[in-house]
Structure 1
């Protein structure tokens, strides 16, 4: 009977294949698709992907496949992307070259075939830029062709691969691209590093997840029939199905073993099941299988030949036997071999004796050292480090592992670099002294603290490894591991005092503690400051002072923070630390703005931005693009800030500064909200919540979405976004720029739900904490929200006896808060008016100055709210003139509310009009006349007057003078008129009015006034 170890018949998987084909259709329609395919080992993931890939290729798609390499912490970073991009370049050489043009040096970190990788700044921004370039490369290549990018065996993915995949799934927005990643679900234990990524991707609506189940008995029977090329005996199917539990690979192995008479050699042990066919091979083939098992996921033919030490004929026969038995398979490129199933490789490797494993790794290393060309150049250093490490030869392994760590750092694979440095620390004591003394810091580290020694001639110290590892952990997101390393380093420095190194480690610890939300980092920074106090100026000293100044700006702004920033600038200049100087100057400028010296501070920050752009200090420029417009927003210059923020977003995206980009999106959302562009503000907030690596900028994005949801009346959504923001910000290091907006939203939600006591509790917590200098931009909205809540609750029984005390505390806070800019002066008037409304003593004279103050500002929603308040006060006074003015104000407020979808304001305006028996679409107190063309168009009386003057050729200023309104109000009227008439300009508006007969001898035909 003819047997095949793989069934030629594709069994089952109809639903899964349909899902993949639907995704392919979506990709072909220029809607990028992202899918995760999971299932236990041997369940049939690879076969499903092969079937899909074949069908996709028939439909014209380009399929590029890359697999993760299972070598461990020292595995080749980005291996599946390197392989897939190489396949993509081979399939579409011209398109790939055009898409990569100008970025070859950067992309060479992923695909070394493109040339020598660029040597430049390292850090989070370098890694982020690489991610952004990769995403844009794929989008460009997929612009004209449907591309299927398959990344197999994600359970073996290195951290850099996981981070890049997560970035692609979050940010791909264009191109005919489908990204499909597979993983073994049974390998994903509770602490597996892939588990957090899967949880994150599950929350993305754009990612579809497919889980492959085991075969049913009927499907198992069809698979066995395909393998045997005949209908199997039902009893045999029952036995195989029972023992395989429906696992497709086990079914294959059991079916072939049964036909070959190996039934008695099998046990219930999985290991025996996997090894039985290997043990049936000739001894030479088994020897080759052991070399391939230990040599890596894929092993080159020439390396196998060098290690096996067989004659060429014997080696070929051994490989033929292993391939013929479907144990090994030839790689796609035809230059190496791999196990057909990784489970078999694992079983063979586990079956090796300890000494046997060490000897095989030593032979691989020696062969590779003797002839480096045995493996691809981009894998050589990593493979050599792995072989020597597993050979347990510390003298050879230490320099090899450190060389691999350098490669990982240059490729921005910081988690892999950290793992390699941890191996180096493990090997340190076991390596001979002459090996250690030959190593230099400049050869293998970049992050060691400056200590007055020459890194090119001074021997490498164990502390240098720890310093590099701490920075790699911070950049790679492994902050808990980095914290442990700094703790161990500081313990060592207790025994060998070195103030500069100790200060450097304490400064790193401060950063890590804040990033992990384990504290505010102040104690660690204070320790670092104590250590450098009295020492000669140094780069460490300047960095500590700059960090302290930045900490004070966020936590305790004031004269001491300014002094620290000035000292940091001075020290940085003395030692030539330009980046530190620019950071400190940026902090100093922000502190000056917060202290009231607005123009000086903004000028300094603007100069820093110009300097960083001129000097290529991209990291500082990214921060300047966030901080400068933020300080402009602090004084109400939102429209100017928005222009700089848009420029900053383009810059930070270009250079891969993801956290800076996220902060810029958040600030842009604020600016767009203020200027009445709420849809764009929501989109910017979504980007802020999605783009950043760190939690806090994502929390800021969620906070903006909560603010918008509350203003639009979606209290439930506001609550969900508030919870997300709180989780991102944590509770250990809440500064005013996050704690006060969080309190404002929580207070607003409580007030909207009628929980006045909870609203007061939020206010009291904020009042007890106080408002540091510079926090007025966050304090005023909170005080206003609290005063508004008290005014709205004035008639409720829940007002309670504590109401008077709350109002007194609010009034006291209002008197103390800064009003140094027109915007905050207007908020001062508004909040005081709400406090009078809370006491029932507000009048039209209370609200008229508030409206006047906001008419001079570019904040349409705020203006609509205070107009609504003035209208209510006018209606309460009851005169005819007041009634006409109230109608006009309510119409304007309702129009803005409708445009912004601000439902609470729209409902409030409608209720007020209903109580006063007003019709907002017609003249005061009467229904709109359907025969009146102006009324049919929804024009108010005031808009009729304005339209007449527009038709007469008046400018906004002339209209304002004739109608005794402000130019800003005239502009709003003109905009509303153009919208209602459906025209784009003033001339078209006049033409439409004349065509409809709205004018008679220069006046409106109906409803004219005065």
Structure 2
């Protein structure tokens, strides 16, 4: 009477998962309060992840949240990037159109790489835009934060085990950097698919360490839960024997329970089924009519979702027959109509996988060929942003290399425009795989199609010159580098250089050698100069070309960092000239920026700064964001190098705004480090500390910027007199920055910090060894900004460590040798601007002090010089030294008191603990008041640091290196008593060791006679 009765396998009752659902809803509640939260839902295939997510999303909608769901698709393995994010953003745009438009305003072109409906991606990829993906990621995160500022948003990404590389990287970036907004991120994946080498495993390990992320593991159902599921499916109390049998055979997997119930209700006893999982999953498919089975096979091979029009074209059935077949498959709960589109997908991916695996090899190729031909005949059958990638996959799986190669290359070009470099690399490697199977006459018709690197660089016409295999290798090498797989990039470059060993193509060989230089440097396997020298030799004598200009520009940039001087300056000038001749303006601007910096190093301060400012303005005008970010970075650094710290701060702050707006994370990190350096110089120590910690958070996964941040923190601790903290940060910075090719901008400041730490602990042998190593090869041009502070630290250490007699270092060969080394280094070092002239005077004054020739007139001249530059801490130190010299000579006590008050006030304001203590101790020893307007001497102070007379005697011997036994013998006391005195001295001085106590005794002049108090 009713005809065939449809048997449902879905339980209307949500079974179990109470704790898991509570975890999800708790995260949603936190998100509603403005605390972004993320959850990873893991479980084996069929365990019920999708049903749990559906229940959670129902609750989220009831609370007024906007829900955006995107699923990873297996076609992502063929290069379809960002698929789940694109789908989710599309849903979010539909749900909150006004908020979405406001959040994306001004960045539509860049965000179109994720969501093509926003417009065309702006411009063309930059030649060496390694940060392009990071820029896109930053803009995507900012988009979500803005939308979620006033609306609760739930972002769901399903089936992460199929995620393409770009999606995994974007998700990791989102979870690491998301700081605000009412946003909950939920991602699911199959735990049983995550084998030891699965690409998702590193991501899971990384995000497991984030406190804002929680992982939810879904176990299989218990027998009681299976009983409840069966009750819901059957709408009746199941037979206990049936429950036992299905629980045993399903092992608590919810999906298998459904399949077994359907098999039982259709008359197939559970015990009659094969133990093979595939056969279990295929049972209901094989019970469908023939047309429906055929349609299921076609859908299984077409991707995660197949559009109705495309399915109709491939199936070739009359429309009524196709609809009848689809109705049968949908009625059997095998296929589902896609809610937000005109297409079909399998209700469960396990069934699709089983159906696809069941296809014969020839059958699979035939179905893919039919898909490819249908799509070629009518490209409108699929979305425009998926068309090329899907066509490339169809032809590839159809095993038609001649048809596949051009489409694979077009798909790689599209991936490049979307900054999906990992997918681009995979597609290019697929093209390399196909290359030998494509007939030569077909290969000769293939054009580069926006492949960009090799053709313009080598002066070839991309419209008429066929693509060569070497060009494919060049593109693959760049893609591997830009997606972070530098090992793979180096392997590809080496392969290309082997093919170029005959020397017939010097331009391409030079290009690959330049690329190899970059890679070995980044991998920490050398400084890259040998590779650059080879590249320069290859282009020597050839007509101007973009490759020639690029080689010279890279060589000049290398020289700026490693060996600034005339050769690097000349290379930069030639790079500018060659780039202008061939019209390569981005290369020209980079070379001009390097040239400007080298001009400043050579002494042409005004000319060099003018050139750098012009480059910054031009790159911003042309929207060359990578070059503009570098211009902000280098200009701020160069301004600081000539003492123009206030302008350096202004440029750096504008650079941070620019880099953040354009998602230039790499440049933002360097600008932050340069800003902190200028702030330290200006006495803005708290601002510098905040910036350094922010840089640490920003650069959590990158060694150089993290080392840069630690370097700044170590400098701050040295200034404050916090020796232990300075030592710890310096050591860690050395580890991170030493993992790469050494650069003077890092090695010299690190040496200075290590020298200051050693001096603070009284290890003068280490101080002298570090100085000797630093000055052994001299200081190249442009390193004065690092060398003068290093020489000053060494001279100060020698002066602080001198014995309390007027001869100074005379008679101590090691000290005399160190003083000569400082003086010789200073004599050869440039002082091109007033700041470094003042530093030269500072070094000379400290050397005179070390030699027992302390002169108040010299310190007064230094104070006057430092008053004209922007260095409050150095000025305070000079005033302290002036006061000390005046008091030691019994000269102007009022002038000494004024200088000491000003020095202490600055030390207190900055938090320079060591300088403050020195000033207060000197005032106490000289009986001077540090309160303004109080010239009268206070009562005689207690002995410094509360040391008794006997303890001062012990300290004097300890400072000469005596052991406890030697001290006991000389003072006629027992070794035990000497040990007690030493322990008390260390406690009173706050010293951690005997050497540090000795250093403090010398630095604070605790063993000298008190200054003249008359």
- Is the pair's TM-score, using the shorter chain for normalization, greater than 0.5? yes
Range with greater deviation from structure 2 (665-674 or 608-617): 608-617
Instruction: Provide the residue aligned with 1:585 in structure 2.
Output: 592
Aligned equivalent of 1:214: 219
Shift, 1:396, TM fit: 1.0
Instruction: Show CA shifts across 1:910-948 (max 9, x none).
Output: 666677777766857659xxxxxxxxxxxxxxxxxxxxx
Instruction: Write the mapping of 1:514-533 to structure 2, written as runs, cut at 5 A.
Output: 514-533=521-540
* Match in the other structure for 2:779: 771
Q: Per-residue deviation at 1:296?
A: 1.4
Aligned to 1:150: 156
Change over 3 Å in CA distance of 1:338–1:742 after alignment to 2: farther
Shift of 1:237: 7.0
Structure 1 position 743 matched with structure 2 position 747: no
| Deviates most, 150-159 or 302-311 | 302-311
Quick one: structure 1 residues 54 and 846, their matched pair in 2 at CA, closer, same or farther if it must change by over 3 Å? Answer: farther
Q: Residues 214 and 248 of structure 1 are in contact (CA less than 8 Å); yes or no, is this contact kept in structure 2?
A: no
The within-5 A match list for 1:656-805 is 656-691=663-698, 695-712=703-720, 721-722=729-730, 725-726=733-734, 728-749=736-757, 762-768=770-776, 770-789=778-797, 805=817
CA distance in 1: counterparts of 2:753 and 2:258, whole angstroms: 60
Q: Find the counterpart in structure 2 of residue 134 from structure 1.
A: 140
2:401 maps to which of 387, 394, 397: 394
| Pair 1:305–1:767, CA change in 2 (3 A) | same
Aligned equivalents of 1:751, 1:208: Cα separation in 2:
45
Partner SS for 1:653: helix
Distance 2:274 2:757 in 1: 64
Change in 2 beyond 3 A, CA 1:620/1:445: closer
Q: TM-score, normalised by structure 2?
A: 0.82
Distance in 2 (CA, whole Å) between partners of 1:555 and 1:718 is: 26
Greater shift in the superposed pair: 69-78 or 841-850 = 841-850
- Measure how far apart 1:801 and its partner are: 8.6
Q: Within 5 A, what are the aligned runs for 1:814-963? A: 814-835=826-847, 842=854, 847-870=859-882, 882=893, 892-906=902-916, 926=938
Deviates more, 1:20-29 or 1:355-364: 20-29
Q: Secondary structure at the match of 2:185?
A: strand
**Cα deviation 1:349-377 (Å, max 9, x = unaligned):** 33333223222222221222223222222
C-alpha deviation, 1:686, in angstroms: 3.9
How many Å separate the matches in 2 of 1:840 and 1:226?
98
Deviation at 1:287, TM superposition (A): 3.4
Extract unaligned runs of 5+ from structure 2: 1-5, 940-1014
Q: 1:82 aligns with which of 86, 89, 94?
A: 86
Q: Contact 2:160 / 2:188 at 8 angstroms: preserved in 1?
A: yes
396-405 or 615-624: which moved more?
615-624
- Pair 1:3–1:842, CA change in 2 (3 A): farther
Separation in structure 2 between the aligned mates of residue 281 and residue 755 of structure 1, nearest angstrom: 86
Which has the larger displacement, 577-586 or 616-625? 616-625
Distance 1:452 1:772 in 2: 37
CA RMSD of aligned residues (A): 3.8
Moved more, 782-791 or 470-479: 782-791
Q: Please give the residue correspondences for 1:629-640 in structure 2 after superposition, counting only pairs within 5 Å.
A: 629-640=636-647
Higher mean C-alpha deviation, range 745-754 or range 616-625: 745-754
**In the alignment, what sits opposite 2:991?**
none
Give the equivalent residue in structure 2 for 1:505: 512
What's the counterpart of residue 969 of structure 2? Answer: none
**1:29-428 equivalences in 2 (<5 Å):** 29-122=33-126, 123-124=129-130, 126-202=132-208, 207-212=212-217, 214-215=219-220, 217=222, 220=225, 224=229, 227=232, 249=255, 262-265=269-272, 271=278, 274-275=281-282, 278=285, 283-428=290-435
Q: In the TM superposition, what are the counterparts of 1:606-621 in structure 2 within 5 Å? A: 606-621=613-628
Alignment match of 2:17 (pick from 5, 12, 15): 12
Judged with a 3 Å threshold, the aligned counterparts in structure 2 of structure 1 residues 168 and 499 are, in CA distance, closer, same or farther, namely same
* Distance in 2 (alpha carbons) for counterparts of 1:290 and 1:643: 64
Contact 1:7-1:223 within 8 A present in 2 as well: no
User: CA deviation digits over 1:797-852, x for unaligned, max 9?
Assistant: xx999555445434443443333322223333444555566677757666544444
Deviation at 1:6, TM superposition (A): 4.8
CA distance in 2, matches of 1:910, 1:556: 44
Change (3 A) 1:781 1:496: closer
Change (3 A) 1:242 1:665: farther
TM superposition shift of 1:637: 0.7
- Deviations along 1:406-448, one digit per CA (max 9) or x if unpaired, are 2112212122112111111111111123321221235655543
Given the alignment of the two structures, is residue 643 of structure 1 paired with residue 650 of structure 2, yes or no? Answer: yes
Q: 1:754 to 1:440 in 2, by over 3 A?
A: same
What are the Cα deviations for residues 635-669 of structure 1, in whole angstroms up to 9, with x where unaligned? 11110111112222223333343322222121111
- CA gap 1:900/1:173 in 2 versus in 1, 3 angstroms: farther
1:168-218, CA deviations, whole angstroms, 9 ceiling, x for partnerless residues?
Answer: 34444444333333444444445443444445445555x423242525748
Q: Is 2:79–2:411's contact at 8 Å kept on the other side of the alignment?
A: no
Do the aligned residues in 2 keep the contact of 1:126 with 1:412 (CA within 8 Å)?
yes
Q: Is 1:227–1:255's contact at 8 Å kept on the other side of the alignment? A: no
CA separation in 1, counterparts of 2:859 and 2:335? Answer: 84
**Superposed displacement of residue 314, structure 1:** 4.6
CA contact (8 A) 1:74 1:420 kept: yes
**CA displacement at 1:528 relative to structure 2:** 1.3
1:532, distance to aligned residue in structure 2 (A): 1.2
CA contact (8 A) 1:76 1:379 kept: yes
Match of 1:485 in 2: 492
1:225 and 1:721 mapped to 2: Cα distance? Answer: 62
Tell whether the 8 Å contact from 2:70 to 2:156 is kept in structure 1 after alignment: yes
Q: 2:448 aligns with which of 424, 441, 447?
A: 441
Write the deviation string for residues 456-477 of structure 1: whole angstroms up to 9, x where unpaired: 1122222222222222223332
Give distance in 1, aligned partners of 2:124 and 2:829.
46
Q: Are the aligned partners of 1:441 and 1:459 in contact in 2 as well (CA < 8 Å)?
A: yes
Out of 479-488 and 236-245, give the one that drifted further: 236-245
Could you tell me whether the CA contact under 8 Å between 1:220 and 1:241 is conserved in 2? Answer: no
What SS does the aligned partner of 1:65 have? Answer: strand
Deviations 1:704-730 (A, max 9, x none): 234335545666765665465445434
Distance of aligned partners of 1:65 and 1:744 in 2 relative to their CA distance in 1, 3 Å threshold: farther
Contact 2:221 2:253 in 1 (8 A): no
CA 1:430–1:859 in 2, change beyond 3 Å: closer, same or farther? same
